[in-house]
Structure 1
Amino acid sequence: MTQPSRADWINTTHDWAGSVDQTHLDAIRADPDRYAPGGLLHLVLEVLAYPDDEAESAGQRGQCSITTYGDGSIAISDNGRGTDTRLDEHGAVVRKPIMATQDLRFFGNPDAPTLPDGHPRCGMSVVAALSEWLVHTNRRANGSWTQRYEHGIPVSDLRPVDPDGTTGTTVHFRPARRDSLPGLAPYLDYPHIEITVREQ
């Protein structure tokens, strides 16, 4: 069966037609205080909003962990279905371009919902653009992959990883601006996920 062209795929949260929007990423990096007010805390909250969405759409309470590392990086993992993937017209695996393109629901939308820090949600691309590096590991029932980004730009292809019997997403990133992370407890008000915090 012939797969439809990426340009013909239905867009809901992101535009599947392209995997990188350089102009979009440049705009974020040019004004970090606008897109990530409060710095690192806001980036963490942007990531957490996605597994919360996932758990809500699945009609169940999800599990999510935040791990802080001595090098200033943070890994956020969840037990959802993993980021959506599709096959293009050539049979190549395409993952939903959540890292390097804008979230059509929130970015630049004056009615975007606020995150628990009181600032509007902009999307995962803000996290990628404002990170020195970010590694997105995706486990789905139909396969698992990882990909590395630097300042929002993918610097590796999708690389397969061995299945471990689980599904979910891990976003491990090191912010370009080394802000301190305040105590997270007052900001973990996500109704559909249970969040644990640990230090590695």
Structure 2
Amino acid sequence: MTATGNPRQLSNVHEYTASHIQVFEGHEAIRRRPGMYIGSTGERGLHHMVYEVVSYAVDEHLAGHADAIEVTITAEGGIRVSDNGRGLPVEVEEPTGRSAVELELTELSFGPKPHTGYGVAGGLSRLGLCVVNALSSRLTVEVHRDGHRWTQAYEKGTPVSPLTRNEETSEHGTTIAFLPDADIFETTRFSFATLSERVQELAFLHEGLAVSLTDERPERPVRHHHTGGLRAFVARLNPCPPSLVHSPAIGFESENENRTILVQVAMQWNTRSPGELRSFANSTRTHEGGSHEDGFRTALTGLVNDYARRQGQLTADDEDITAGAVHEGLTAVLSVKLAHPVFEGSTRTKLSNPEAETYVQEVVREHLSDWLDHNPNDAASIIRHILNAPTCPRKR
């Protein structure tokens, strides 16, 4: 193909060389393009900074080394996150001559922390601590590990002091405190309500993990402590007992033989709401749904129809109950944890793992069928509720 056009314009092509390309490394690259790492420099990105640090602590819980996380909005408006996990490694990494703590907080290429298989999908592929550090005007890390308390300070992603070994201690865990850089963010004021909703979700999604949120700002000193499980989550979403079709909520979980996928479900029908399905993948809310939601809806609709026909609540001449009728008034929380989650799009809010759909269907069919068989009175109430739904086809 022959190129045509202005010869002067074409000559400019040859003037574009490698010397014109700027390559930024580490915190410099993050600070120049923060939206690439946290989504935005507005309130959403600001709060995502907190979620990234908390995600590290939740990973420690998933690995079996932590059962408590404390999140604090400090008096000066920063964030402090503490956990009672193993503590960030403090040994010097060869050949860099730098501590593992410093590498975790400064290197984009630093490797993943080992865990039992399910990591928290915070969106940054284990880069979260490095990104938070780079976008903070000040960050301090305190580690209780190997019999001592260790500390180090950073400014805008750069260490301003070496990792220092302090007094002896028998405690273990990590505390990271940071102040978002006002030169980066449109606002640096954290919303207690926004953070409270997220830490409450994490407590519900991880039974056995206690998460607290404290606001030390002078105008609103307050502390919330959250524990729970998925049934407690559903109970919070269904706050009106007289409207419940059955009680308590149905709950079950299952893990596959290879320990690469864990499915947890809690669900309860009520007469006052149109219904809500909240789904999560590796503790991240999947607002756009995905394969795990598809599996849940398919299995639930088929199972309800099969059960209703076996019990004579539907006859051979009746039309199948629609998915819309089955989900009328249903509040459900679906959580899957995968060793290798795959998300669609930059927002990472839609799961696309096909094995999630298959396994969720299998789990729902097995466990819900068993619950219906062992709770015939509640099961009959549920089917009657569904048959009376406005979206349910009328019997012939």
Q: Same fold (TM over 0.5)?
A: yes
* Residues 1:125 and 2:127 aligned together: no
Which deviations, in whole Å up to 9, do the C-alpha atoms of 1:54-76 show, x marking residues without a partner?
Answer: 1211x255201011122121111
C-alpha displacement at 1:193, in angstroms? 3.5
Say which of 147, 151, 158 aligns to 1:142. 147
Matches within 5 A, 1:37-186: 37=39, 38-57=44-63, 59=64, 62-87=67-92, 94-96=99-101, 97-102=103-108, 103-104=110-111, 114-115=121-122, 120-121=123-124, 122-176=127-181, 177=185, 178-182=187-191, 183=193, 184-186=195-197
Quick check: 1:133–1:149 contact (8 Å CA) kept in 2? yes
Q: Is 2:208 the counterpart of 1:197?
A: no
Whole-angstrom distance in 2 between the partners of 1:23 and 1:199: 35
- Of 22, 25, 38, which aligns to 1:23? 25
CA distance in 2, matches of 1:137, 1:40: 22
Q: Is the 8 A contact 1:51 1:193 kept in 2?
A: no
Compared CA separation, residues 89 and 174, structure 1 to 2 (3 A): closer
Residues 65 and 197, structure 1, Cα contact 8 Å, conserved in 2: yes
CA offsets 1:91-118 (integer angstroms, 9 cap, x no match): x88234211012545xxxxxx9643xxx
Q: Percent identity?
A: 29
CA gap of 1:165–1:88, structure 2 versus 1, over 3 A, is: same
Partner of 2:18: none
**Any unmatched runs of 5+ in structure 2?**
1-23, 113-118, 217-396
Distance in 1 (CA, whole Å) between partners of 2:169 and 2:60 is: 20
Give the alignment's TM-score, normalised by structure 1.
Answer: 0.73
Q: Flag the structure with larger Rg.
A: 2
Q: Which structure shows the bigger proportion of residues in strand conformation?
A: 1
1:25, distance to aligned residue in structure 2 (A): 1.0
| Aligned amino acid, residue 180 of structure 1 | R
Q: d(CA) in 1 for partners of 2:132 and 2:71? A: 15
Q: Normalising to structure 2: TM-score of the pair? A: 0.39
After superposition, the Cα gap between the structure-2 partners of 1:94 and 1:173, relative to the gap in structure 1 and judged at 3 Å, is same
Relative distance call for 1:88 and 1:43 in structure 2 (3 A) is closer
Structure 1 unaligned blocks of 5 or more: 1-21, 106-111
Structure 1 residue 135: Cα displacement: 0.2
- For residues 162 and 172 of structure 1, what CA distance do their matches in structure 2 show? 20
- Of structures 1 and 2, the one scoring higher in RCO (CA 8 A, sep 6+) is 1
Cα distance between partner residues in 2 of 1:93 and 1:154: 11
- 8 Å contact kept, 1:139–1:163: no
